[in-house]
């Protein structure tokens, strides 16, 4: 039997983490060799994990039977001319309420839906949003779907050639958090964050947590969602700026929230585990920056996209 390769460690800061992660849990290496792995999503109907390699403009899939293999290319830039972007591919992935794949496409600078079946994938996409006020997005980064079908997404500049405010390709002067409603209406929700990145709803969908991947403001922010979908009462869920400068191994990026309200947020050193009040319970420590994570198997399994790795933690048996 092939020995399972493991890396990193699990840091248990509060005893409550033992109810979330088994004391036997390890960090398994499922695959490696990627340029920058991102955006994992478990597709239960297919028993597969999909994830992006952003620089390679490719989505990969992983199954227990066959391991990791290329699934869809191109995934984020579909133009015919060479692109100057270092990260042209898809980034964040999610499923809409009909189970269809939604992609944040850096190269095409839009939020899109895959116009193909999972068992016969092809690079055919339906654009859901590509402009705000007539100006092209920077590079949609991460996306979440609400129970009513609305899609919330972030738009930092990481897919632009220079990845900053001075990039000539940048048309919008801020980095926004947006909503595309089920009827296709686009709404700007927040324009004040420096590097909005990962985002997730609390189980009651009354609060949105947004990661800010700025080394000078490495902060997870919380917002209340009003009845008319405005984001109000901006506050700091956790400020990890000091840890980001000390660790030099990742920034607040992708995050997921379980049914109990515990937050699994990639950040300095790996994946931080918070309870719903923002108390740090533990950390899944990885030796390389971790970009995002995804639950599977009824939240018993957590997949991690960590730089060149695809990793798995079996939280509970």
* CA 168 and chain centroid, separation: 26
Tokens of 167: 């990039």
Buried b (16+ CB within 10 A) or exposed e, 117-141: ebeebeeebeebbeebeeeebbbbb
Rounded Cα distance between 29 and 12, Å, is 21
Q: Quickly state the pLDDT bin for 2 (edges 50, 70, 90).
A: low
- What is the DSSP secondary structure assignment for residue 13, as one 8-state letter? -
pLDDT digits (tens, 9 = 90+) for 154-188: 999 999 999 888 889 999 999 999 999 989 999 99
How far is the CA of 169 from the CAs of 74, 94, 107, 112, 173, in angstroms?
Answer: 21, 27, 12, 20, 11
Q: What is the rounded distance in angstroms from the CA atom of residue 77 to the CA atom of residue 22?
A: 40
- State how far the Cα of 64 lies from the Cα of 47, in Å rounded to an integer: 8
pLDDT digits (tens, 9 = 90+) for 88-146: 999 999 999 999 999 999 999 999 999 999 999 999 999 999 999 999 999 999 999 99
End-to-end CA distance of the chain: 20
pLDDT value, residue 166:
85
The angle subtended at Cα 96 by Cα 115 and Cα 313, nearest 5°, is: 110
Q: CB of 247 within 8 A of CB of 237?
A: no
Among 282, 249, 284, 281, CA closest to 268: 249
3-state SS assignment for residue 245: helix
Domains assigned to the chain = 9-314 (2.120.10.30)
Q: What is the pLDDT of residues 18-50, one digit of tens each?
A: 999 999 999 999 999 999 999 999 999 999 999
Largest CA distance in the chain: 58
pLDDT of 79 strictly over 90: yes
B/e letters for 185-205, b = 16+ CB within 10 Å, e = fewer, are ebbebbeebebbbbbbbeeee
Q: What is the pLDDT of residue 1?
A: 54
Pick from 159, 53, 49, 70: nearest CA to 110: 159
Question: What is the reported pLDDT for 68?
Answer: 98
Average pLDDT over residues 256-265: 98
> What tokens appear for 99 in the block?
């189970």
Peptide bond into 74 cis (omega under 30): yes
Q: Kindly state the percentage of the chain with pLDDT values over 70.
A: 99
Give the pTM.
0.97
What one-character DSSP code corresponds to residue 63? E
195-230 pLDDT, tens digit each: 999 999 999 999 999 999 999 999 999 999 999 999
- Alpha-carbon 126 to chain mean position: 21
């Amino acid at each position: 039997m092939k020995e399972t390769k493991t890396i990193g460690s699990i840091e248990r800061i509060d005893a409550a983490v033992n109810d979330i992660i088994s004391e036997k849990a390890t960090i398994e290496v499922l695959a490696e060799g990627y340029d920058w792995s991102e955006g994992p999503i478990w597709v239960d109907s297919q028993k597969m994990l999909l994830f992006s390699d952003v620089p390679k403009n490719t989505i990969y899939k992983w199954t227990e039977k066959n391991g990791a293999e290329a699934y869809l290319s191109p995934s984020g830039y579909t133009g015919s001319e060479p692109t100057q972007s270092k990260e042209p591919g898809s980034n964040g992935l999610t499923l809409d309420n009909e189970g269809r794949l939604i992609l944040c496409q850096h190269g095409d600078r839009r939020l899109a839906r895959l116009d193909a079946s999972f068992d016969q994938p092809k690079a055919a996409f339906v654009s859901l949003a590509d402009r705000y006020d007539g100006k092209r997005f920077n590079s949609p980064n991460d996306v979440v779907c609400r129970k009513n079908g609305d899609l919330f997404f972030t738009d930092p500049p990481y897919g632009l050639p220079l990845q900053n405010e001075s990039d000539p390709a940048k048309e919008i002067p801020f980095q926004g958090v947006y909503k595309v409603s089920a009827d296709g209406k686009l709404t700007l929700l927040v324009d004040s964050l420096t590097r909005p990145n990962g985002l997730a709803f609390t189980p009651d969908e009354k609060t949105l947590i947004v990661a800010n991947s700025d080394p000078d403001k490495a902060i997870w922010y919380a917002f209340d969602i009003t009845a008319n979908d405005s984001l109000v009462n901006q506050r700091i869920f956790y400020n990890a700026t000091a840890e980001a400068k000390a660790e030099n191994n990742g920034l607040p990026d992708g995050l997921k929230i379980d049914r109990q309200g515990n937050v699994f947020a990639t950040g300095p050193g790996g994946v931080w585990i918070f309870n719903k009040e923002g108390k740090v319970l533990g950390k899944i420590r990885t030796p390389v920056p971790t970009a995002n994570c995804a639950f599977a198997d009824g939240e018993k399994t957590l997949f991690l996209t960590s730089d060149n790795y695809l990793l798995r933690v079996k939280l509970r048996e």
